[in-house]
Each structure stands twice: as C-alpha cells, then as structure tokens.
C-alpha cells in the first residue's frame, strides 16, 4: 500500500517535471498532454485502490523521511491516507484527470501548451501534498504550493494588456494573478500564526499528537488557534472579505478555473476546517464555529445575489462557487463535518462539469464571455447543452441529483441546530441558486439566436473531450445516491451528525420547501429568458439603472472600496516611502561612494609631477606620524 501512496502523490510531480524540464521551450507536442493525463490517471487509479483499502482495512500512514529535526522540533515528511484525505484524493485526481484531458482539446491552439501542463500537474502535486500530509507543516507546504500554481495559472496569459472591466478599474491576467496571490498571502499569515501557536503550546505539528493534546490547552489559546487557522481558510476559500480574488481569477484559462477555482483548491479551506474538526468541535471554540457558520451563510447569500445580475459566463459560475463554499462552511461551522465534505465532493463534480461546459461555450464563441450576446445555442452545441443542464440541475438541488442530497442535508442541519436565521438564508439562497444557474443556461442555449447578428460561428468541442467529461456528468447525477454508504464510511473518522427526531419528522417538508423554491426560480428564469420571438428577452434599461441592480452588479462596490481605500492609499504610501528610501538609504550609500570619489578628485592635485612638492607632502606626512606617536605616548 505504501507504494500506492507514493504513486498517487508523485505521479503528478513526474508529469510536471516531464513537461517542465524537457518540453518547456519546445513547440507544442501532444505527447506532453497524453503523458501528463496518463500520469494523473495513474494517480487516480492509485487513489481508488487506496480508497478500497481504507474502506476495508483502515487508514494507511507512511513516513517517507525526516524533513526537519532540530532540537525538540521534529517534522517528518509523513503522509496519512484516511477516510477524509482519501475522499479529497479521489475528488482531486478524478477532476484533474478530466481537466487534463479537457485541456488537451481546449489549449490546442495555445502556443504555451507544454508549459500549461507543467503548471497544471504541479498544481495537482501540491494539492495532493496538502490533503495527504499528516502534519500542519506539510499541509502548509501544499497550501503555498497550490497558491503558487494558482498564481502561475491565473496569469498564464500574462501578455494580455490591462483593460477596464465592469466593476474593476482595470484587469488583466497578471493583475488578477497578483491580486489572488497577495490576498492569499494576507490570509496565509493568519494560518502561519495558527501553526506557530500550535507548535508553541503543544510542541508538535503532527495531527494525531495535536488533536490528542488539545484538551490540555486553556480556552483562550484554543480560540486563538481556531481563529488564526480559519483566517487562512478564509483566504484560500475566498470567504468575505477576502473573496474578490476568486471572481477576478476567472482571467485564467477555463480548465484552470474549473480545476483550481471551483473544484479543488478553493475547497482547501473547508478541508482544513474538516481536518481540524477535533479543534472546531470543542465547546471552548463554539463561538468561532458559530462565526464560521454565520459567515458561510452570509457568503452563500451574498455571492448568490451578485450572480443574479452578472453577465460574464465565468463570473456567474465563480460566484456560484463562492456561494456553495458558503454552504460548506455553514455545515462545517454547525458541526456537520461529514455533510460539508460530502457537499464538497458533490460540488466538485457538478461545478467542474459546469465550468468545462462554460469553457466549451467560450471556446465556441471565440472567448466571448457576455451571455447577453449568446442565445439559442442548443442546436449547435447539443453536447455541452446537456452537460450544463445536468450540472445546473445538480447545482440547483433538484431531486435525485448530487446537489439535492448534500445541500438538503446542510439546510436540514441548520434547521436542526436551531439556527433559524442561517436556515432561512440558506433556503432563500437555494432558490436564488436555481434562478441564476438556469438564467445562465437559458441565456446561452435558449431564446433568440443573438450571436448570429454579431457574426459568431459557434461549433461544439472535440468529441473526445465531450466523452471525457461524461464521468463528471454521471457523478453529478448519481453521487448523491451513495450518501448512506458514504456516511457509514466517513463517520468512522469524522463525528456523526445526528438529526433530532423533530427534524427528522419535518425533513420531507423542509426538502419540499427547497424544491418548491428551486423550481419557482427555474420557472421564473424560463419565462424571462427562454422565450423566442414575441416573448424574447429584452434589456430593461430602466431596471439596470435602479439602485439595487447597480449595487449588485458592482459587487456591492467592494472591489471599488478596496481599490479606493486600500490600493490607492497603498500606492501613495509606496510613492512616499520610495522618496524616503531614495533620501535616506540611497542617500547614505551614495554619500559613501561620492565621498571616496570627491576625496580622490581633491587630493589628486598633490600628484603635480614636482618632486619637491612630493617631498613636502612626505615631510608633512612624517611630521604627522611623529606627532601622532608623541601624542599617543603622552596619552597612553
């Protein structure tokens, strides 16, 4: 089993090195795409075997080597494959495999094809370290690794120039990459502080040791650790107020958005909270957990409301990702860790599918993102239409789809907890989710064929790409059916979440309410956006001028606010500090250099070629030496 762990972990790394070392400068070759996809597929197969092994015989724990061993500090490179990490491994490797295959088609015309695969595989490797590590230090390595890969991949088309875009003053892939990286850096500081606190108070970073010793700590320290770790999670999972990077990260290539900014990396924060569940389920940190749940519910609603008016196809999906991350945090905060993890997995499947479908649309429309310019594309892109329809069905949480089971469970647990405000927000958000996801589908695939007037000639993606996407579609439909089996599997490690009898009794009605809201949302969207001819959608200029619409479509002016009150003052401060730097630091260095230069310039007058004056200078020097000798003998 140990070898399989290494295969799962290092196969993506080998792929990354293969593409990065041997093909970085060579022209596009399909060999790279095929080899890298195969290696990720290999990691997936290893993960499947490991999952079966974990299900039958329990977790696998390997220590590869000692990494840091100084004094009392001992951090090994250890990897633990248990119920939680194997779930993440399966999700990551499965989605990655499909995204890799998808990328061979999507990036077909890109000149940096090989480089793309080097980065993408490196990302998978970092993510595997993140989920498999058996200590916080390894987790942090993976955490930073995915951050770097995310930066590289958002800024993949770094040569694109800045352009004004909706609510942002100016946006380009490199700008978005920097924004994502810097915002994550802010949050990572919190994470690092949390890790330091753990080390100072416990003296180890191994999960099992740490969770074992938590009961010996006083509640103040526990709260501090919980808050610090959650700040890290907020950055990676783009929770308010560190959420703006996620929508801007859509500047990257679509497969990247699907893999990193929807299915895997952004769920790392949720994973961290689930991993640290012995900490977050303590009574002492109940306040922090409640805060996590409340923030999750708030973000769920907040992001969904922005998605209602968004026009950019990728931003709609990104905002729905934000919203679903909010659901996961709500569940994790309420103590329903296994439900959060279940929703995480289900979400990864249908969101990746949705994103890849959106990528197909973009590809067909020559990278046009505005859904106002699309419509009636059902005929030309039937395959993508079916996929996006399935994914939106799952996202909306309609019966028997993956999203139905997991989202319903989250809403139920909010009700069960007695947090009726959170419950209410989540229910309303579920209705909004159905509306905006079907708004997008109807805008793109139904209604008038607006793209024709604009001169687009859409065509569907390669056949093999559509076939490769099918596992995601199947899972988006069927994943929820295995909820009971998964429950049994995962609760061996994670605490079970018992619904009270009262809730259990009410569950069908609660589920029914959510379904009614979702269906209502879909019907409204259908009426409004799917009509043709007479009933076709028309722009409502008046409504677009209203305060509410403007507020929502400008993302509540949060990016504006950041630009105005953080970025601009920072720029001014930087300019001032640059002045100061030039005056003090540079000034001092220049003074030394110029001083030597000036001294030479002045004293070179001595070298006048006259032996007599040389002798005079020599005499003066000798006198001075004698004088110094006399003075020093008198003094000392």
Q: What's the Rg (C-alpha) of the chain?
A: 30
Q: Are 4 and 46 in contact (CB under 8 A)?
A: yes
Q: How far is the CB of 619 from other proteins (least distance, A)?
A: 5
How crowded is the C-beta side of 548, counted as CA atoms within 13 Å?
4
Nearer to other proteins, 52 or 628 (CB): 628
Output the DSSP codes for 42-85.
HHHHHHHHHHHHHHHH--EEEEEEEEEEETTEEEEEEEEE-HHH
Nearer to other proteins, 161 or 611 (CB): 611
Nearer to other proteins, 219 or 613 (CB): 613
Q: How far is the CB of 162 from other proteins (least distance, A)?
A: 57
One of 241, 593, 619, 621 touching other proteins (CB under 8 A): 619
Q: How far is the CB of 629 from other proteins (least distance, A)?
A: 16
Nearer to other proteins, 71 or 609 (CB): 609
Nearer to other proteins, 500 or 608 (CB): 608
Q: How far is the CB of 613 from other proteins (least distance, A)?
A: 9
Nearer to other proteins, 66 or 610 (CB): 610
Q: How far is the CB of 621 from other proteins (least distance, A)?
A: 12
Give CA 490 to chain center in angstroms: 24
- Distances in Å between the Cα of 442 and the Cα atoms of 365, 469, 491, 537 are 16, 21, 40, 10
Q: Are 308 and 371 in contact (CB under 8 A)?
A: no
Within residues 174-213, the interface with other proteins by CB under 8 A covers none
List the one residue out of 329, 304, 288 whose CA is nearest residue 413. Answer: 329
- Binding of residue 545 to other proteins (CB under 8 A): no
Within residues 585-614, the interface with other proteins by CB under 8 A covers 604-612
Each as own residue / partner, the long-range contacts of residues 571-574 (CB below 8 Å, 24 or more positions apart, any chain) are none
Q: Is the dihedral of CA 193, 195, 201, 203 positive or negative?
A: negative
**Contact track, other proteins, 493-522, x by CB under 8 A:** ------------------------------
Q: How far is the CB of 173 from other proteins (least distance, A)?
A: 60
**Contact track, other proteins, 384-403, x by CB under 8 A:** --------------------
List the one residue out of 163, 436, 192, 487 whose CA is nearest residue 316. Answer: 436
- The size of the interface with other proteins (CB under 8 A), counted in residues, is 12
Nearer to other proteins, 186 or 615 (CB): 615
Q: How far is the CB of 594 from other proteins (least distance, A)?
A: 21
Nearer to other proteins, 63 or 603 (CB): 603
CA distance 198 to 505: 42
Residue 291: Cβ within 10 Å count: 16
One of 500, 546, 564, 616 touching other proteins (CB under 8 A): 616
Q: How far is the CB of 622 from other proteins (least distance, A)?
A: 9
Nearer to other proteins, 569 or 621 (CB): 621
**Contact track, other proteins, 412-441, x by CB under 8 A:** ------------------------------
Those residues whose C-beta lies under 8 Å from the C-beta of residue 562, and which sit 6 or more positions away, are 244
Helix 30-57 to helix 83-106 angle, to the nearest 10 degrees? Answer: 160
Q: How far is the CB of 606 from other proteins (least distance, A)?
A: 7
Q: How far is the CB of 611 from other proteins (least distance, A)?
A: 5
User: Measured between alpha carbons, how far apart are the two ends of the chain, in Å?
Assistant: 79
List the one residue out of 207, 196, 350 whose CA is nearest residue 274. Answer: 207
Q: How far is the CB of 172 from other proteins (least distance, A)?
A: 58
SS3 sequence of 432-462: HHHHHHHHHHHHHHCCCCHHHHCCCCCCCCC
Nearer to other proteins, 611 or 634 (CB): 611
Within residues 246-275, the interface with other proteins by CB under 8 A covers none
Under the phi-then-psi rule, with left for phi > 0, alpha for psi from -120 to 50, and beta for the rest, what region is 609?
Answer: left
- For 371, list phi and psi in degrees, rounded to 5: -70, -20
Nearer to other proteins, 564 or 603 (CB): 603
**Token pair recorded at residue 586:** 């540079």
Q: How far is the CB of 634 from other proteins (least distance, A)?
A: 19
Within residues 93-152, the interface with other proteins by CB under 8 A covers none
**Token pair recorded at residue 200:** 């100072």
Give CA 507 to chain center in angstroms: 33
Within residues 279-318, the interface with other proteins by CB under 8 A covers none
Give residues in contact with other proteins (CB under 8 A).
604-612, 615-616, 619
């Amino acid at each position: 089993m140990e070898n399989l762990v290494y295969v799962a972990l290092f196969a993506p790394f080998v792929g990354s090195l293969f593409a990065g070392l041997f093909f970085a400068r060579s022209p596009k070759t399909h060999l790279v795409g095929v080899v890298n996809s195969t290696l990720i597929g290999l990691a997936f197969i290893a993960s499947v075997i490991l999952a079966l092994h974990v299900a039958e015989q329990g977790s696998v724990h390997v220590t590869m080597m000692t990494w840091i061993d100084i004094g009392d500090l001992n951090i090994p490179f250890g990897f633990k494959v248990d119920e939680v990490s194997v779930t993440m491994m399966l999700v990551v490797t499965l989605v990655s495999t499909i995204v890799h295959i998808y990328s061979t088609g999507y990036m077909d015309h890109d000149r940096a094809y090989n480089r793309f695969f080097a980065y993408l595989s490196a990302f998978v490797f970092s993510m595997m370290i993140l989920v498999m590590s058996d200590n916080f230090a390894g987790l942090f390595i993976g955490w930073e690794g995915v951050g770097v890969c995310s930066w590289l991949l958002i800024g993949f088309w770094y040569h694109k120039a800045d352009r004004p875009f909706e609510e942002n003053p100016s946006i380009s892939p490199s700008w978005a990459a920097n924004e994502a990286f810097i915002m994550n850096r802010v949050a990572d500081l919190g994470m690092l502080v949390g890790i330091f606190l753990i080390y100072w108070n416990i003296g180890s970073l191994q999960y099992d040791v740490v969770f074992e010793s938590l009961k010996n700590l006083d509640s103040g320290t526990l709260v501090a650790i919980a808050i610090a770790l959650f700040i890290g999670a907020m950055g990676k999972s783009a929770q308010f107020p560190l959420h703006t990077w996620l929508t801007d990260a859509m500047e990257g290539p679509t497969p990247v958005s699907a893999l990193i900014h929807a299915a895997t990396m952004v769920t790392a924060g949720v994973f961290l909270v689930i991993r640290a569940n012995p900490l977050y389920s303590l009574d002492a940190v109940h306040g922090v957990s409640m805060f996590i749940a409340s923030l999750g519910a708030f973000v769920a609603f907040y992001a969904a409301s922005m998605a209602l008016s968004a026009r950019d196809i990728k931003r709609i999906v990104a905002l729905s990702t934000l919203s679903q991350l909010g659901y996961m945090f709500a569940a994790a905060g309420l103590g329903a860790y296994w439900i959060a993890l279940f929703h995480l997995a289900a979400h990864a499947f249908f969101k990746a599918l949705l994103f890849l479908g959106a990528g197909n649309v973009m590809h067909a429309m020559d990278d046009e993102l505005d859904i106002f310019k699309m419509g009636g594309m059902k005929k030309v892109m039937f395959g993508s239409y079916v996929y996006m329809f399935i994914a939106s069905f799952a996202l909306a949480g309609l019966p028997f789809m993956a999203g139905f089971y997991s989202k319903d469970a989250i809403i139920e647990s909010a009700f069960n907890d007695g947090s009726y405000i959170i419950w209410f927000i989540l229910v309303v958000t579920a209705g909004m989710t159905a509306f905006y996801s079907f708004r997008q589908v109807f805008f793109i695939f139904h209604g008038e064929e607006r793209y024709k007037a604009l001169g687009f000639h859409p065509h569907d993606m390669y056949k093999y790409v559509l076939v490769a996407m099918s596992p995601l579609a199947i899972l988006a439909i069927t994943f929820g059916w295995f909820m009971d089996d998964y429950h049994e599997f995962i609760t061996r490690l994670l605490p079970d979440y018992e619904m009270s009898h009262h809730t259990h009794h009410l569950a069908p009605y609660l589920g029914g309410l959510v379904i009614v809201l979702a269906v209502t949302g879909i019907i409204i969207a259908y009426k409004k956006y799917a009509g043709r001819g007479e009933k076709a959608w028309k722009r409502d200029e008046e409504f677009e001028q209203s305060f509410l619409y403007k507020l929502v479509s400008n993302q509540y002016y949060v990016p504006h606010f950041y630009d105005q009150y953080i970025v601009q003052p920072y720029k001014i401060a930087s300019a001032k500090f640059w002045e100061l730097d030039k005056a003090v630091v540079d000034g001092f260095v220049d003074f030394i250099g110029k001083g030597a230069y000036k001294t030479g310039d002045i004293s070179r007058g001595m070298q006048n070629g006259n032996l007599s004056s040389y002798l005079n200078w020599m005499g003066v020097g000798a006198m001075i030496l004698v004088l110094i000798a006399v003075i020093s003998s008198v003094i000392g």
